[in-house]
A = this chain, B = another copy of it.
């Protein structure tokens, strides 16, 4: 089965967030704005999507998302710890109910033995805490970025579904 396109995932996210009154923010490194772009391709997205940060450099991760310098030094920008910190930073700075963060090596450059091209961490945060997942994509730069954006939207959808389940009588 082919993976759902970004537009379809974004439409599902919008329908649920509008129904449940949940707001969303993004913090993007390797996807570089692709998630926010997919979300805002849809009219009406401004009713739940507040915005976010494209933190392509470590300086912006620190300045706009409050990622501690020590975390970047100890674990590197592409790490579960930094993904969680980016999501928590976006949640706080953007004042939303939930936030998603992506950090990875999209390629073709930037890979190493320890952190190969395709390695990507996606984190979702809300007021109850955060989840993070590790992926290793095997496509080219465009395919890796698309896969990361898809994973981010899917993790947001899962998180929103837990809100929905909790709200059920």
Contacts and interface: CB of A to CB of B under 8 A. Distances in A.
A54 B26 contact: yes
B43 A32 contact: no
Instruction: Assign chain A's interface to a size class.
Output: 35 or more
A43 B140 CA distance: 11
Nearest to A37: B33
A108 to B, nearest CB: 6
A59 to B, nearest CB: 6
Interface stretch (A13-21, A44-52, A122-130, A160-168): A44-52
A36 interface: yes
B95 A63 contact: yes
A119 to B, nearest CB: 16
B59 A50 contact: yes
A10 to B, nearest CB: 11
Nearest to A44: B109
A56 B60 contact: no
Most buried by B among A28, A40, A44, A142: A40
A142 B43 CA distance: 10
20 contacts: A26-B33, A28-B36, A31-B40, A32-B40, A32-B45, A33-B36, A33-B40, A36-B54, A40-B54, A40-B145, A43-B106, A43-B108, A44-B109, A45-B56, A52-B54, A53-B54, A59-B94, A59-B95, A63-B93, A64-B93
